[in-house]
Amino acid sequence: MTLCITGQYGEVTPTRCTDPAPYIDMRPGQEGLPLSPVPPYSQVEYSPPPDPSLYLLEPSNHAVDRYSLRNLAFQSRYLPLQTLGPGATAAWVDPVERLIFVADGNRVYYANLP
């Protein structure tokens, strides 16, 4: 992921980007450390304020990772309790109803978000 900051209208400040974005890990035992390595993601889903987040699908583990846009931090990983098919093909998050959906081929699974 890349973090870009643009100048305001009328300013001469150029757009500045940091690649990769300086995300930090917030998992127990990893607090405040740079996030590495970053798994291979296949899809990104944006969740708007009041808690702006990015949800990224890591298909081989059927995992969906949540990144905070407020503090550029890895927040949590959502995994199925049982083994699903060969690999997740899509994911979607409903921030209003607090649900997460993961598709594996022609099957769709869902769960409540904490």
Q: What is the mean pLDDT of the chain?
A: 85
Task: State both tokens at 13.
Answer: 């400040």
Q: Phi and psi at residue 61, in whole multiples of 5°?
A: -105, 5
Of all residues in the chain, what percent carry a pLDDT higher than 70? Answer: 96
pLDDT digits (tens, 9 = 90+) for 27-63: 778 777 877 667 788 999 999 888 899 999 999 888 9
- Please count the structural domains in the chain: 1
Higher pLDDT, 106 or 33: 106
Higher pLDDT, 96 or 1: 96
Q: Residue 23 in contact with residue 67, Cβ under 8 Å?
A: yes
For residues 62-75, give the mean pLDDT: 88
As a whole number of angstroms, the distance between CA 12 and CA 14 comes to 6
pLDDT at 10 over 80: no
CA triple 74-77-79, angle to 5 deg: 170
- Of 92, 85, 35, 81, give the one whose Cα is nearest residue 60: 85
Domain limits for position 46: 3-112
Question: What's the gap between Cα 51 and its chain centre?
Answer: 13
pLDDT band with cut points at 50, 70 and 90 for residue 99: very high
